[in-house]
Amino acid sequence: MADRVPRTRLGRGGRLGRLAAGQAVRGAGVRLAMIGRTEEARRVLAERSALAAAQQLVTVLGGLKGAAMKLGQMLSVLDLELVPESHRELFRTKLAELRDRVPAVPFAGMREVLEDELGPLERVFAEFDAEPIAAASIGQVYRARLLDGRAVAVKVQYPGVEDAIRADLRNLEVFSALWRSALPSAADTDVLAEVARSIGNELDYPREARTQHRVAARYRGHPFVFVPDALLEYCTARVLVTELVDGHSFEHLRTLPAAERNRYGELIYRFYISSLFHDFEFCGDPHPGNVLLAKDGRVAFVDFGLYDRMDPVHVDFERSCLRAAGERRAADLYAAWVGRGIIDPAAGVTAAECLEYVWAAAGWHLVDEPITVTPEIATGAVILAIDPRAAEFRGMRHQLLPPEHVFSRRADLFTFALLGQLGVTANWHTLAREWLYDEPPATEIGRAIARWRAGQAGR
């Protein structure tokens, strides 16, 4: 039944194990060749097997929801190159079903959660559409209208999803097998553990409501960005009520002319990347389902369950390392990494390898020229960053990213992948110099935002 979410470790682990086993059989003989550069990452898999694997991922992960589905959503923004080029878009579309067309829990079950939290619906809502407008890894989102006439989005946790998530957090070993079957180079247990721990935060709707309310206040009146406010008086442990974004999905953005996509790409970069260095907090869940185009032309960002704060000391460390890489100061980068415990000085890793690794994974911030981000380039960067043992980065096998940086690096990589879905072009280094070197903005959008901020500060 679609409304029954497996809750026990055994029940969920068994289904995940069967999925991993099935993938392993289909994946026999698969090889990942890293040929020279990031964008040349290639995976070879028989066409029929790849499509079957995609369908199985959709069915099993979508039915499990919770942390398992989150991994599937992350896969959906990558061009995994699991199939011949002529079929890659179909494969990616299959995985995107985890984001856009997740098996829906019948409204009867969701209504029970709603009324347990808020009481009879007619006491709160004048209208409530029983058909969900979105299905996320933790809950479903509905369109409704409050008694005072305000249009709202209502996110409701799936019945039993908390037990399901707890089971997922105990199943990291199984997740490792699942992840390895889909992307063999990304089987690092520590990375999976960090992802799973962060997913636990999504269960805390009161925390998410407070975060979204604070971020919405920060962006209130922004000329280009809209963050819908959380209506705290209606938010509970399992229900989150926010302003409704009236507009278009991310898929609509992909159909726009290049100049418009480029403009929106800059705004996505500023929201997901620049915010870490300006505000010391960031959204760790950049994916297409969380980006909308509001009817007033602003880019709207939703879902703040994985919004996190980072100690300014750690942010400054990231900034200084990127500066060293951008300025080709390999010795300084190496010394910083050794001092931080990222690499073992006895491992035989050279300063040059450290430098080239940063350029492969984060070079889009450092190259002072226009770069068009494609799915292929973005996927290659993710692969190298997650597992530098591939190809020319084998010497980096002892790299150990500190836990406080795993979350921010994932946000960076998946923002890159998100922009790859749009195929946008920009001089990303020009944008990065604002937070790398505290330089004034060089783009029209950046200058307009700076004027708006100056006006806000003067109030």
Could you tell me if 282 and 249 lie in one domain? Answer: yes
pLDDT for the residue numbered 383: 55
Query: 382 lies in a domain?
Result: yes
**Residue 453 domain flag:** yes
Residue 4 within any structural domain of the chain: no
Residue 178 and residue 68 in contact, taking contact as beta carbons nearer than 8 Å: yes
* Amino acid type, 338: V
Residues 35 and 182 reside in one and the same domain? yes
Contact 414, 291 (CB under 8 A): no
Q: Is residue 282 part of a domain?
A: yes
Give the tokens for residue 291. 């980006």
285 belongs to the catalytic site: yes
Same domain, 235 and 261: yes
**Which residue bears the tokens 């980072």?**
310
Are 74 and 287 in contact by the 8 Å Cβ rule? The answer is: yes
pLDDT for 75:
56
Percentage of the chain exceeding pLDDT 70: 62
Claim to verify: residue 126 and residue 269 sit in the same structural domain? yes
Compute the mean pLDDT over every residue in the chain, rounded to the nearest whole number. Answer: 76
Same domain for 260 and 222: yes
Most confidently modeled range among 9-23, 112-126, 381-395: 112-126
**Residue 202: helix, strand or coil by DSSP?**
coil
Same-domain check for residues 216 and 173? no
- Among 308, 338, 367, give the residue marking a domain's end: 308
Confidence (pLDDT) at 360 = 73
* Average pLDDT value for residue range 409-415: 81
235 pLDDT higher than 70: yes
Banded model confidence at residue 193, pLDDT cuts 50, 70, 90: low
Which residues are bridge partners to 156 per DSSP?
A: 140, 239
Task: Tell which wins on pLDDT, 434 or 360.
Answer: 434
Q: Is residue 251 part of a domain?
A: yes
| Cα–Cα nearest to 138, from 5, 278, 251 | 5
CB 53 within 8 A of CB 19: no
Split into its structural domains, the chain has a count of 3
Average pLDDT over residues 370-384: 73
Q: Higher-confidence residue: 454 or 86?
A: 454
Interval 102-156: pLDDT, tens: 556 789 999 999 999 999 999 999 999 999 998 776 889 999 999 999 999 999 9
Residue type, 209: A
Amino acid present at 103: P
Which is the catalytic residue, given 285, 303, 332, 387? 285
* Domain end point (choices 308, 341, 364): 308
Dmax (CA) of the chain: 67
Residue 239 domain flag: yes
Alpha carbon of 336 to those of 49, 161, 394: distances in Å? 44, 42, 20
Distance CA 282, CA 267 (A): 14
Q: Which of 284, 308, 332 is the last residue of a domain?
A: 308
Tell me how crowded residue 5 is: count the other CB atoms within 10 A of its CB.
23
86, 193: one domain = yes
Residue 300 included in any domain: yes
Give dist(CA 73, CA 67) in Å, integer: 10
Assess whether 35 and 65 both reside in one domain. Answer: yes
Q: Which of 156-165, 178-187, 342-351, 365-374 has the lowest mean pLDDT?
A: 178-187
Summary count for the chain: helices (H), strands (E):
19, 15
Cα separation, 398 vs 391, whole angstroms:
15
Least confident interval from 79-93, 259-273, 305-319 = 79-93
**In whole angstroms, what is the distance from residue 102 CA to residue 95 CA?**
10
Amino acid at 340: R
Pairing of strands 299-301, 225-226: parallel
pLDDT band at 285 (very low <50, low <70, confident <90, very high): confident
Please compute Rg for the chain using Cα positions.
22
Bridge partners (DSSP) listed for residue 308: 282
DSSP run (H or E) holding 312: helix 312-326
| Domain co-membership, 260 together with 232 | yes
CB 89 within 8 A of CB 54: no
In sequence order, which ranges of 77-227 are alpha helices (DSSP H)? 88-100, 107-118, 161-169, 172-182, 189-201, 205-219
Res 343: pLDDT? 83
Same domain, 125 and 229: yes
The answer to whether position 3 is within a domain reads no
In the prediction, which pLDDT does 342 show? Answer: 82
Res. 249: pLDDT tops 60: yes
Please tell me the predicted confidence (pLDDT) of residue 288.
87
Residue 456: Cβ within 10 Å count:
12
- The CA distance from 229 to 242, in Å, is 6
- Band of pLDDT at residue 362, cut at 50, 70 and 90: confident
Residue of 207 and 72 predicted with greater confidence: 207
- Kindly report the backbone phi and psi dihedral angles of residue 143, in degrees, each rounded to the nearest multiple of 5, phi listed first: -95, 135
pLDDT band at 402, cuts 50/70/90? low
Which domain CATH number covers 123? 1.10.510.10
Range of the domain at 452: 310-457
Q: Is the pLDDT of residue 190 over 60?
A: no
Q: Are residues 153 and 181 in the same domain?
A: no
Kindly give, in sequence order, each residue whose CB lies less than 8 Å from that of residue 189, ignoring residues fewer than 6 positions away.
172, 173, 176
SS3 category, 217:
helix
For residues 143 and 153, the answer to whether their CB atoms sit within 8 Å is yes
User: How would you classify the pairing of strands 307-309 and 281-283?
Assistant: antiparallel
- Cβ partners under 8 Å of residue 451, min gap 6: none
Mean pLDDT (whole number) for 19-35: 31
Helix intervals (H) in 128-204: 161-169, 172-182, 189-201
Say yes or no: 447 and 338 in one domain. Answer: yes
The mean pLDDT value for 383-399 works out to 51
Contact 342, 398 (CB under 8 A): no
Q: Please tell me the predicted confidence (pLDDT) of residue 7.
A: 43
pLDDT tens digit sequence for 31-72? 222 223 334 333 433 334 444 554 554 454 445 445 555 555
More confident residue, 310 or 166: 310
Q: Please state the pTM of the whole predicted model.
A: 0.77
pLDDT value at residue 130: 94
